[in-house]
With several copies, the nearest count.
Chain A
């Protein structure tokens, strides 16, 4: 394991200490607990937005706390959920009477804890909490049948949900309205990823799986969950075509649609490669007459030092577009 770390047990807390040192103007913590991260710029009367999840995905989750996006984030160990109590502490801190919206990924540990926190917030603190769960990885499961639970994993597309909900809250919409916008964003985003190498959880010290010297896995999840297929690594254009085929057919995105596109590096993949991918996405979408409103390219949701990338599409309407365009300032995302 080649990492610049000290004791693996201290990995998350030392990372957090560094984060507070670097961004004192934007973030702080509550409850005397480094893992209860909240905005340093609380806006009174606004709906609070909280997220949370395991570490190892920076800039996700905590990196989107700041102005115009999220208000709080509970931080777990690497790839492990934070606790309901930590979520509750944040909920109390960021509520200013308008209620709190939880936005998080579709993972059991997170769901159980956020549900518990929501119950405690209601039961113990009389804070109204609503939740929106992002689950948009088309490789992780089929679409949910009507009335059935969505079993898809939430991955990089959650960035779009944060952005839209954050801007809506910032515009002082009420909890139901903010939730409706988050829900709309979540329903209109689809993602798929590809992994080239595994990553190593510091306390484990060895890769969770192996990939052959010339192998890739299309559809792999950000904790190494099994994807759609393994095969020899292919040219970038071919990989992008396969991924976009699946993504586009799923919603489906159709001729005349307008989308925002997120090209997301998983950790070790260079920006060069991400732009090579961007170029091909633009080709494919132009051919299908799907209009791109804006590209976001870079590391938005990583899986430690995994090599690979994901593509997310968000179908826009005027409302989502307005919220996507709104300014934001967080440690990892600044938009004028």
Chain B
């Protein structure tokens, strides 16, 4: 695969986040301050704008630059976490000028690590990670099990969606939602919704 597939991924993320502005605002209004639709829409727009001219030749540099653009545009909690994910993915893919299927596992693993290192949240803390983590597992086992990247992405997207739904079993321990304690349990986590949208963007970027 050419590294333009990364540009398509970010284009798709931009489109999907912006299609879901209101959805994310609504989710975040219940538990947080309601800005998530704006920050994710603006953030992934900035990330895509930074790479859309197609002049990047290094996959790692492309992702790192996209992350930096996002962090500058939206220095909010999730904005900075998503930027950290992209930048970490960039570091992991540094030097590559094309991508194998396996590189997508590396990308999302690094993305996960970037967010986890930055935010110090653990699985089960009711965050973005609880959407991305099951997706990563699904992606890994599908690809290692020999499935096509398209099918693997689609299974990952479904797993992320399930992970998001599953956040209603958890109590929030980070951010604004944490101040609610036990009362946060029944609410779906907006950050995990972003993970589901992100994997959906990955899936749809492969279907041209």
The reply to whether A and B meet directly (CB within 8 Å) is yes
A-side interface residues toward B, CB under 8 Å? 76, 80-86, 108-109, 112-113, 115-116, 120, 149, 225-226
- Our pick among B73, B75, B175 for the contact of A113 (Cβ within 8 Å) is B75
Q: Which of B20-28, B79-87, B131-139, B155-163 lies at the binding interface?
A: B79-87
Contact status B179-A108, CB under 8 Å: no
Contact status A116-B76, CB under 8 Å: no
Contact status B72-A112, CB under 8 Å: no
List the 10 closest A-B pairs by CB distance, nearest first: A83-B75, A112-B80, A85-B72, A81-B75, A83-B72, A84-B71, A108-B77, A113-B75, A112-B118, A109-B77
What would be 14 A-B contacts, judged by CB atoms less than 8 Å apart? A80-B75, A80-B76, A81-B80, A109-B75, A109-B76, A112-B80, A112-B81, A112-B84, A113-B75, A113-B80, A115-B118, A116-B83, A225-B179, A226-B179
* Cβ contacts under 8 Å, A115 to chain B: 118
Contact pattern, B 172-196, Cβ under 8 Å of A = 1, otherwise 0: 0011000100000000000000000
Please measure, in the bound complex, the distance between the C-alpha atom of A226 and the C-alpha atom of B175, giving whole angstroms.
13
B73-118 residues at the A interface, CB under 8 angstroms: 73, 75-77, 80-81, 83-84, 87, 118
Known: A108-B175, A113-B80. 16 other contacts (CB 8 A): A76-B75, A80-B75, A81-B75, A81-B80, A82-B75, A83-B72, A83-B75, A84-B80, A86-B72, A109-B77, A112-B80, A112-B84, A112-B118, A113-B75, A115-B118, A116-B118
The verdict on B68 contacting chain A, using a C-beta distance below 8 Å, is yes
B101 to chain A, nearest CB (A): 29
Interface of B is mostly: helix
* Cβ contacts under 8 Å, B124 to chain A: none
B113-130 residues at the A interface, CB under 8 angstroms: 118-120
Interface of A is mostly: helix
Interface size on B, residues (CB 8 A): 18
- Our pick among A80, A83, A108, A149 for the contact of B71 (Cβ within 8 Å) is A83
A57 to chain B, nearest CB (A): 17
Contact status A116-B71, CB under 8 Å: yes
* Cβ contacts under 8 Å, B72 to chain A: 83-86
Please measure, in the bound complex, the distance between the C-alpha atom of A116 and the C-alpha atom of B174, giving whole angstroms.
18
Contact status B174-A108, CB under 8 Å: yes
* Cβ contacts under 8 Å, A86 to chain B: 72, 75
Q: A74: nearest residue on chain B (CB-CB)?
A: B75
B175 to chain A, nearest CB (A): 6
Contact status B179-A116, CB under 8 Å: no
A13 to chain B, nearest CB (A): 16
Contact status B76-A81, CB under 8 Å: yes
* Cβ contacts under 8 Å, B119 to chain A: 108, 112
Among the interface residues A76, A82, A84, A115, which one has the most CB atoms of the partner chain B within 10 A?
A84
Q: B73: nearest residue on chain A (CB-CB)?
A: A83
Q: B87: nearest residue on chain A (CB-CB)?
A: A116
A61 to chain B, nearest CB (A): 15
Q: A109: nearest residue on chain B (CB-CB)?
A: B77
Contact status B120-A116, CB under 8 Å: no
Contact status B75-A84, CB under 8 Å: yes
* Cβ contacts under 8 Å, A81 to chain B: 75-76, 80
Contact status A116-B84, CB under 8 Å: yes
Q: B115: nearest residue on chain A (CB-CB)?
A: A112
Q: B39: nearest residue on chain A (CB-CB)?
A: A80
A166 to chain B, nearest CB (A): 25
Please measure, in the bound complex, the distance between the C-alpha atom of A105 and the C-alpha atom of B207, giving whole angstroms.
45
Q: A83: nearest residue on chain B (CB-CB)?
A: B75
